[in-house]
């Protein structure tokens, strides 16, 4: 029994690392991977303009951090859908599922690698705001910033894994991708802080992990001590873990259903 | 009563064991489409087995079930003793799958990167992976193009890479679904050599193909499948006997008189001139064949060829000539 569990854990880990390594190799040679990055400096400039000319330069931090979070979510949405549908169209989905490595963990590993795009997108947003508006966002709590960034990336990958499960049985991923971008930006408090929402909406927003991420990242740029950092990290971790568990289990369920229906191949 | 001897060997596990397999698909507003109907097939370890049948006969459905990506509607399917529905993780470890066509690869990656990825998917360690990938690229003749992107490869080269992918874990059982589609004759010949090597190494191969000479040349046994049902499973050497008790004798240089005499021999069913100078005599095995041969040899003719119905003829006999029609 113990040996079986050890083997199973090894299979899950292999799936994760295989996906992670593979995605790095794939992204290196694919120009379209970086399309998500192109928007980051433009959004940074747009939001900076709004903040500066409305006299709310106290919200400049929002303008720099929002494009990074948006890039992460856009990349996650785009890759989660493409990963299943492109593999299905190219006849690879069945081959992937016929191999012993855990497919859900492969998906999660690949999506985690996609999240590495968060770093260059932050750099581009940061530099754009600095060069165009002379605002070089300070990071007063680098530990909080790094921790929040890491957990945000993992939670985004986990949420995207959950989304990808829906694409196992759904052939059209585009509609889902297009529908889920701006509502999540809004509910996640990416641009407008959740605390400014009406009470009932704030409650809903607190179920979106990005609302906790955005708070932490913005707080790390403030010289004051970060309030309730532990709670924020715990909530981010909890929501990320819940998304991951839901994502992995739902992929397993959808795959089983697809094997019953014979819906894995596109023929 | 004597207790069974502890040293008594258990019978070897069958590579593939299929019992009462049925697979149907729900079709909205119509009766279920039956893809496989009560299929029973046992393939021992080390056998090369070909599955022959027209398009839509159920060959690929069977391959998909064996490779665990499709569940049976009912019946039992075991690969190396493991149930494909309940123990699919164990089945996957002893199975290599090559589906036909040139799809299934990552075109923007090189051949080596592709194989590396698939070797990881089969849980090979880093060092083992490197060694195995190099060995396989060499084996399928792609070593010189190993570091080129697959998108520049011809269909045949992609097929070779697919084969290498299927072999990456050195599986006990290899499923090949129309593996030579799109291969040029040289590549197809190399492929046949590869299958022979695999058999010599003890691998079990289940192959679907439309290429009758290939099936006859490579297979220990062949199965004919039509409309989801197995029609026949037999060795290619004896399969002709099942559909015909006749042997054919092709003789060059027979006169009309000799042809008339041959036609009167008991057991001879037909004597026809198939092309100028070439006569085909169909006769029952045994005495009739012996009498025909004696007649011809006594007449001083030595250009004689004996043959039985080819696999293609057996196929046509069993499956019928349905032209371009796809099975329902």
pLDDT, residue B164, reads 92
Cβ separation A94–B93 shorter than 8 A: no
**Strand B221-226 relative to strand B48-52: parallel, antiparallel, unpaired?**
parallel
Give the gap in angstroms from C-alpha B304 to the nearest C-alpha of chain A: 50
Residue ranges of the domains in chain A? 7-261
Q: Does residue B324 sit within a domain?
A: no
CA dist B301 → B251, B261, B286, B297 (Å)? 8, 15, 20, 5
Q: Which of A10, A12, A89, A100 to mutate to test the interface with B (most CBs of B within 10 A)?
A: A100
Distance CA B101, CA A87 (A): 15
The answer to whether residues B208 and B141 belong to one domain is yes
pLDDT score recorded for residue A212: 93
Q: Are residues B206 and B59 in the same domain?
A: yes
Structurally, chain B folds into a number of domains equal to 2
Q: Tell me if B327 is assigned to some domain.
A: no
Residues of chain A positioned with their CB less than 8 A from the CB of B105 = 90, 92
Whether B139 and B282 map to the same domain: the answer is: no
Show the beta-strand stretches assigned E in B285-321.
304-307
Neighbours of B252 (CB within 10 A): 13
- Identify the bridge partners of residue B22 per DSSP, sorted by sequence position: B74
Here the CATH number for the domain that contains residue B293 is 3.30.70.600
Using CA atoms, how far residue A165 sits from A81, A104, A169, A251, in Å, is 9, 9, 8, 4
pLDDT digits (tens, 9 = 90+) for B16-37: 999 999 999 888 888 888 999 9
Give the pLDDT of residue A84. Answer: 83
Calculate mean pLDDT across residues B256-279: 89
The whole-number pLDDT of residue B302 equals 87
CA distance B178 to chain A (A): 15
Contact across the interface for A98 and B117, Cβ inside 8 Å: no
| Rounded Cα–Cα distance for residues A183 and A187 (Å) | 6
pLDDT of residue B2: 45
Residue that terminates a domain, selected from B201, B235, B269? B235
**pLDDT confidence of residue A74:** 86
State whether B104 and A18 contact (CB < 8 Å).
Answer: no
A13 touches chain B (CB under 8 A): no
Mean pLDDT, chain B, as a whole number? 86
CB–CB contact A260 B71 (8 Å): yes
Return the pLDDT at A103: 92
ipTM: 0.84
Tokens linked to B169: 């874990």
Do B222 and B254 lie in one domain? The reply is: no
Q: Do B89 and A96 touch (CB under 8 A)?
A: no
The residue assigned the tokens 């297979």 is B219
The answer on B300 and B199 residing in a single domain is: no
**What does the pLDDT average to over A127-132?**
94
Residues B41 and B93 in one domain: yes
Distance CA A189, CA A197 (A): 9
Pick from A17, A21, A259: which is nearest to B70 by CB? A259
A227 in B contact zone (CB under 8 Å): no
Query: Which residues of chain A have a CB within 8 Å of the CB of B120?
Result: 14, 17-18, 21-22, 101
B323 part of a folded domain:
no
Chain B within 8 Å of A264 (Cβ-Cβ)? yes
- For the segment A3-16, what is each residue's pLDDT rounded down to a tens digit? 666 776 777 788 89
* CATH number of the domain that residue B184 is part of: 3.40.50.300
CB B12 within 8 A of CB B185: no
In the predicted structure, residue A198 carries a pLDDT above the cut 90: no
In a domain, B319, yes or no: no
Question: Smallest CA–CA separation between A73 and chain B, in Å?
Answer: 25
Shortest alpha-carbon distance between residue B19 and chain A (Å): 19
Query: What value does the mean pLDDT take over residues A81-108?
Result: 88
Cβ-based contacts of B107 with chain A (< 8 Å): 90
In this structure, are B106 and B226 located in the same domain?
yes
Reported as a pLDDT band with limits 50, 70 and 90, residue A91 is: confident
Sequence-separated (6 or more) residues with CB below 8 Å from residue A62:
A47, A51, A191, A192, A193, A214, A218
Whether residue B39 contacts residue B23, with contact meaning beta carbons closer than 8 Å, is answered with no
Is residue B71 domain-shared with residue B181, that is, in the same domain? yes
Domain boundary at B235, B260, B295, which?
Answer: B235
Q: Which of B60, B97, B108, B121 to mutate to test the interface with A (most CBs of A within 10 A)?
A: B121
Q: How high is the pLDDT of residue B3?
A: 45
Strands B82-83 and B74-79: antiparallel
Please provide the average confidence, as pLDDT, over all residues in chain A.
Answer: 87
Mean pLDDT, rounded, for A91-100: 90
Neighbours of A57 (CB within 10 A): 14
Q: pLDDT at position A129, please? A: 93
Tokens of B233: 């499973």
What are residue A116's DSSP bridge partners? Answer: none
Give the containing element (helix H, strand E) for B173.
strand B173-177
Do B214 and B103 belong together in one domain?
yes
B4 pLDDT exceeds 50?
A: no
B3 in any annotated domain: no
The answer on B151 and B294 residing in a single domain is: no
Q: Are residues B134 and B226 in the same domain?
A: yes
- B174, B207, B235: which is the final residue of a domain? B235
Q: Are residues B160 and B303 in the same domain?
A: no
**Tokens standing for B241?**
């006997």
- State which residues form the domain around B74: 16-235
Task: Name the one residue in this structure whose structure tokens are 């433009």.
Answer: A42
Least confident of A189-203, B236-250, B307-321: B307-321
Q: Classify residue B316 as left (phi > 0), alpha (psi -120 to 50) or beta.
A: alpha
Tokens of A37: 């990055």
Residue spans of alpha helices (H) in A54-141: 60-89, 93-97, 103-114, 118-133
């Amino acid at each position: 029994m113990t040996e079986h569990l050890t083997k199973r854990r090894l299979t899950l880990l292999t799936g994760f690392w295989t996906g992670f390594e593979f995605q790095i190799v794939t992204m290196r040679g694919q120009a379209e991977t970086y399309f998500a990055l192109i928007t980051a400096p433009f959004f940074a400039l747009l939001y900076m303009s709004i903040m500066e000319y409305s006299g709310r330069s106290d919200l400049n931090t929002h303008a720099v951090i929002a494009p990074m979070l948006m890039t992460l979510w856009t990349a996650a949405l785009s890759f989660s859908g493409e990963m299943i549908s492109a593999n299905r169209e190219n006849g690879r989905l069945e081959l992937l599922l016929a191999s012993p490595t855990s497919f859900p963990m492969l998906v999660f590993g690949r999506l985690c690698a996609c999240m590495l795009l968060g770093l260059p997108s932050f750099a581009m947003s940061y530099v754009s705001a600095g060069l165009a508006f002379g605002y070089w966002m300070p990071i007063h709590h680098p530990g909080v910033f790094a921790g929040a960034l890491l957990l945000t990336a993992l939670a985004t990958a986990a949420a995207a894994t959950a989304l990808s499960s829906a694409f196992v049985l759904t052939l059209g991923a585009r509609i889902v991708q297009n529908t889920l971008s701006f509502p999540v930006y809004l509910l996640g408090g990416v641009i407008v802080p959740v605390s400014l929402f009406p009470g009932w909406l704030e409650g809903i927003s607190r179920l979106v992990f990005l609302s906790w991420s955005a708070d932490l990242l913005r707080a790390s740029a403030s010289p004051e001590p970060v309030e309730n950092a532990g709670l924020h990290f715990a909530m981010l971790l909890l929501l990320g873990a819940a998304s991951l568990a839901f994502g992995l289990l739902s992929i397993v369920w959808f795959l089983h259903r697809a094997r019953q229906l014979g819906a894995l191949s596109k023929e | 009563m004597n207790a069974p001897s502890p040293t008594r060997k258990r019978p070897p596990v069958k590579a593939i064991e299929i019992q009462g397999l049925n697979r149907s698909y729900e079709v909205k507003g119509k009766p279920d489409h039956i893809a496989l109907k009560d299929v029973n097939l046992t393939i021992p370890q080390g056998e090369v087995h070909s599955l022959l049948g027209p398009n839509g006969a159920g060959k690929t459905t069977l391959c998909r079930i064996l490779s665990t990506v499709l569940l049976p509607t009912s019946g039992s399917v075991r690969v190396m003793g493991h149930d494909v529905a309940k123990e699919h993780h164990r089945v996957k470890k002893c199975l290599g799958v090559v589906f036909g066509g040139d799809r299934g690869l990552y075109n923007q990656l090189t051949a080596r990167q592709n194989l590396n990825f698939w070797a990881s998917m089969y849980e090979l360690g880093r060092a083992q992976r490197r060694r195995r990938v190099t060995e396989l690229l060499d084996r399928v003749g792609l070593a010189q193009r190993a570091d080129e992107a697959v998108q520049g490869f011809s269909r045949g080269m992609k097929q070779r890479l697919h084969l290498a992918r299927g072999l990456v874990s050195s599986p006990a059982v290899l499923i090949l679904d129309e593996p030579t589609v799109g291969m040029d004759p040289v590549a197809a010949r190399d492929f046949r050599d590869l299958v022979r090597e695999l058999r010599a190494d003890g691998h079990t191969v289940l192959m679907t193909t439309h290429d009758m000479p290939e099936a006859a040349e490579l297979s220990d046994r062949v199965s004919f499948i039509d409309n989801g049902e197995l029609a026949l499973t037999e060795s290619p050497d004896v399969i002709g006997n099942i559909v015909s008790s006749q042997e054919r004798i092709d003789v060059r240089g027979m006169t009309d008189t000799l042809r008339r005499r041959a036609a009167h021999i008991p057991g001879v069913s037909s004597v026809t001139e198939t092309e100028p100078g070439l006569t085909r005599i169909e006769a029952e095995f045994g005495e009739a064949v012996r009498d025909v041969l004696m007649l011809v040899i006594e007449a001083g003719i030595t250009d004689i060829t004996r043959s039985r119905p080819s696999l293609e003829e057996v196929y046509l006999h069993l499956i019928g000539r349905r032209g371009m029609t796809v099975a329902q």
